[in-house]
């Protein structure tokens, strides 16, 4: 069985860890969001790819949900002296990843090549692909103008009213080598419970990926990241509203409607299923909030059962 997954950060990483516990090695092709990549201190940081790799490799700091266990921030502490931005926390161990990625990119390797190497070095036993080798940057427009995603998410802690979202560079981007091919030849596609606007949206903004999802024979399943009218975590609700979607599983369904077959919705949202099914989708009602490793595995099993 070959499964393609579209993945953002934390929520995706948890479901992927659940899947990893149930399927053989190399079953998954994980297509990661790079719309929130950023240059920090001159280093190419790929937060979503790293969260996925750190989680699947077993290195993630479980309490914080990002970065590495046992992390320290010594370099960070010196940056104040030099006037470098310190709103983005880069740990000392984490820095090794960004230094390595940046060096390889500067030497001319593609993000696809670098990501594959880092995933392997971090003991990830599935394929990890960036959505594109070109720069696509999720930007949000607030009252005072445009912000890069990390400026909005980390620096401003999402406390900015968003009126518009754009994926800068998407028009000129290509799907990373292997992405369209993996979708075309997969038995199933799983869209992880990630922010539809700033995690899955950037992936879909790369020309050719949405079309591949429409064209594939694979069953395409998504897990709604909206439970009971709000996001399980993060600003997905506000961003969906800003982009004109209802903040509900129904809104998720409409965002993914052109190519989605099955939507997993939370028990709390069972009442929405008739309207989602009226739009031609199958729904599966289950517990979607992943509590602990058991919760991750249970949701992953439910998804696999639905695909079988």
Given the complex with a second copy, which of 63 and 74 has the nearer CB atom?
74
| 42 part of the interface to a second copy, by CB under 8 A | yes
Closest-CA residue to 118 (of 128, 107, 109): 128
* Burial letters 45-73, b for 16+ CB under 10 A, else e: bbbbbbbbbbbbbebbbeeeebbbeebeb
Contact indicator for 216, 189 with CB cutoff of 8 Å: yes
Q: Which is nearer to a second copy, 107 or 144 (by Cβ)?
A: 107
CB of 98 to a second copy, least distance (A): 10
Among the residue ranges 19-27, 113-121, 144-152, 281-289, the one whose residues contact a second copy (CB under 8 A): 113-121
| Shortest spacing between CB 49 and a second copy, in angstroms | 15
Separation between Cα atoms, residue 191 and residue 208, nearest integer Å: 16
Indicate the residue among 79 and 284 with the shorter CB distance to a second copy. Answer: 79
Q: Which one among 118, 128, 188, 231 touches a second copy, defined by CB under 8 A?
A: 118
> How many chain residues touch a second copy (CB under 8 A)?
28
Please name which of 185, 190, 264, 170 lies closest in space to residue 30, comparing C-alpha atoms.
Answer: 190
Structure tokens at 127: 């394929």
Q: Which of 24, 69, 121, 164 binds a second copy (CB under 8 A)?
A: 121
- 24 touches a second copy by CB under 8 A: no
Which positions from 43 through 102 interact with a second copy, judged by CB under 8 A?
43, 72, 74-75, 77-79, 81-84, 91-93, 95-97, 99-100, 102
CB of 154 to a second copy, least distance (A): 18
Site for a second copy in 175-204 (CB under 8 A): none
Q: Tell me the closest approach of the beta carbon of residue 117 to a second copy, in angstroms.
A: 8
As measured in angstroms, the least distance from the Cβ of 31 to a second copy is 23
Print the binding letters for residues 240-259 with a second copy: x by CB under 8 A, - otherwise: --------------------
Q: How far is the CB of 211 from a second copy (least distance, A)?
A: 36
Decide: 19 and 192 in contact? Cβ < 8 Å: no
- The alpha carbon torsion through 140, 138, 239, 160 (nearest 10 deg) reads -30
Q: Tell me if 125 contacts a second copy by CB under 8 A.
A: no
Cα gap 61→145, rounded to integer Å: 34
- Looking at the Cβ atoms of 85 and 292, the one nearer to a second copy is 85
Using CB under 8 A as the binding rule, the residues of this chain from 212 to 241 that contact a second copy are none
Residue 303 CB, nearest approach to a second copy (Å): 31
Using CB under 8 A, list all residues that contact a second copy.
Answer: 41-43, 72, 74-75, 77-79, 81-84, 91-93, 95-97, 99-100, 102-103, 106, 117-118, 121-122
């Amino acid at each position: 069985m070959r499964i393609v997954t579209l993945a953002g950060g934390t929520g995706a990483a948890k479901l992927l860890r659940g899947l990893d516990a149930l399927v053989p090695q190399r079953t998954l092709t994980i297509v990661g969001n790079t719309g929130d990549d950023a240059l920090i201190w001159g280093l190419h940081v790929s937060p979503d790819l790293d969260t996925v790799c750190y989680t699947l490799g077993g290195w993630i700091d479980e309490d914080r949900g990002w970065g590495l266990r046992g992390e320290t921030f010594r370099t960070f502490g010196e940056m104040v002296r030099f006037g470098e931005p310190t709103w983005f926390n880069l740990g000392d161990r984490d820095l090794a990843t960004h230094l390595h990625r940046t060096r390889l990119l500067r030497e001319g390797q593609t993000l696809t090549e670098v990501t594959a190497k880092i995933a392997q070095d971090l003991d990830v036993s599935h394929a990890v692909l960036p959505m594109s080798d070109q720069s696509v940057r999720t930007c949000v427009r607030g009252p005072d103008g445009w912000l890069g995603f990390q400026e909005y998410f980390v620096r401003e802690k999402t406390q900015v009213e968003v009126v518009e979202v754009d994926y800068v560079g998407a028009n000129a981007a290509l799907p990373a080598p292997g992405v369209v091919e993996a979708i075309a030849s997969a038995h199933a596609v799983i869209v992880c419970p990630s922010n539809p606007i700033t995690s899955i949206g950037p992936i879909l903004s790369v020309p050719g990926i949405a079309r591949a999802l429409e064209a594939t024979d694979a069953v395409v399943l998504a897990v709604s990241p909206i439970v009971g009218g709000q996001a399980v975590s993060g600003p997905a609700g506000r961003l969906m509203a800003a982009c004109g979607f209802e903040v509900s599983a129904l809104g998720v369904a409409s965002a993914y409607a052109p190519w989605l077959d099955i939507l997993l919705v939370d028990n709390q949202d069972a009442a929405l299923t008739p309207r989602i099914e009226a739009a031609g989708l199958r729904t599966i009602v289950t517990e979607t909030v992943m509590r602990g490793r058991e919760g991750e595995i249970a949701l992953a099993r439910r998804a696999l059962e639905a695909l079988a």
